Structure 1
Amino acid sequence: ALRAHTSPAGHRHAVFPAAVEAWAEFGALHITASAPGRQIAPAAIRIDPLHGLHLARTLGDLGRALETEVAPLGAEGDEQAVLAIDTEGRVFSIDHTGDWFLGQDIDEALTTLVTGAQPARLSSPPA
């Protein structure tokens, strides 16, 4: 569905090995934290790339800013934020307040979200 979807403005999703591997391993995963967070409230997580289906332009813009490709990964909370993954496997969250770096890989990102660790706001590409 992602590969075939084109937005009304002609934007398409990037599909690449790191995203496909994450979807295959964690697809349909739903996690709800049961304890308070360390710095912020822990987030419920749903791994399902279709949560970002209509965000091809937004994810494309993030990819250009990071000088990479970015694909949808899932959602945080009740879709308050979309989760995205880049070609290197780094994971990001995009919400109405900004773009956030969650981790160098999906395991680190899930830990950040479930434990309520404060993610880093993107102001430049992560190292």
Structure 2
Amino acid sequence: MRFPAPVEAVLRDAGWAAGRRVPEVAARVIRTVCAYTAGDGSRHTPFPAAERALTEFAGVYVDQDGPGVALRRAPFAIDPTMAVPTAATLAAFGRVLGVRLFPLGVEGTDDAILAIDERGRVFALDPAGEWHLGDDLDAALTTLITGTEPPRVADDGTWSPAP
């Protein structure tokens, strides 16, 4: 089974289904995001991990609110157009990690930026710091939906597994 049953149920309620593919939506949101240039000249550049994630999950909006395993479960959207003006922020964080990042969407009411790196790892960036949500999108979605506490990314771009 790809996702734990409760996680799959939440994703299905949000419009996802196994085998879902929305390449036209993914291409449109990628074009929109890539058209933006930050004040410092930074731009979003897609890569295969971002394209794969968006081809399957673009337009999935999870409406949840309530207690989770360790944290309150917040709504989130896999819609990079909601994080367009993050090119400079993601470029700076990418330099710390040594990889490129692409926005996936937002958590809460613009509380955090969700981003994927070239390796497929997913992160949340909020005013309190950066968080490693999972080594792949499936793990990150599980973290978000269950309210599991993710490890914080240190200033040197490393993190320890969550307790």
TM-score by length of 2: 0.74
| 3-state secondary structure, aligned to 2:72 | coil
Task: Name whichever structure is richer in helix by fraction.
Answer: 2
RMSD: 1.4
Aligned to 1:26: 57
Q: 2-side partners of 1:8 and 1:119: how far apart?
A: 31
Q: Give the drift of 1:35.
A: 5.1
| 3-state secondary structure, aligned to 1:125 | coil
Q: 2-side partners of 1:34 and 1:10: how far apart?
A: 37
Whether 2:64 is the aligned partner of 1:36: answer no
Q: Give the drift of 1:32.
A: 2.2
Q: Which runs of 5+ in 1 are unaligned?
A: none
Q: 2-side partners of 1:8 and 1:79: how far apart?
A: 20
- CA radius of gyration, larger in: 2
Kept in 1, the 8 Å contact 2:76–2:107? The answer is yes
Aligned to 1:109: 140
Instruction: Name which structure has the greater RCO, CA cutoff 8 Å, separation 6+.
Output: 1
Kept in 1, the 8 Å contact 2:134–2:140? The answer is yes
Q: Which runs of 5+ in 2 are unaligned?
A: 1-31
Identity %: 43
Q: 1-side partners of 2:80 and 2:73: how far apart?
A: 21
Which of 11, 15, 18 is 2:46 aligned to? 15
Query: Is the deviation greater in 30-39 or in 79-88?
Result: 30-39
Kept in 2, the 8 Å contact 1:13–1:71? The answer is yes
Kept in 1, the 8 Å contact 2:70–2:149? The answer is yes
For residues 34-55 of structure 1, the C-alpha deviation after alignment (integer angstroms, 9 at most, x for no partner) is 6520111012110001122101
Kept in 2, the 8 Å contact 1:32–1:114? The answer is no
The number of residue pairs the alignment matches comes to 127
For residues 39-85 of structure 1, the C-alpha deviation after alignment (integer angstroms, 9 at most, x for no partner) is 11012110001122101000001111000000000110111101000
**Which segments of structure 1 move beyond 4 Å, counting only runs of 4 or more?**
none
Equivalent positions of 1:32-111 (< 5 A) are 32-33=63-64, 36-111=67-142
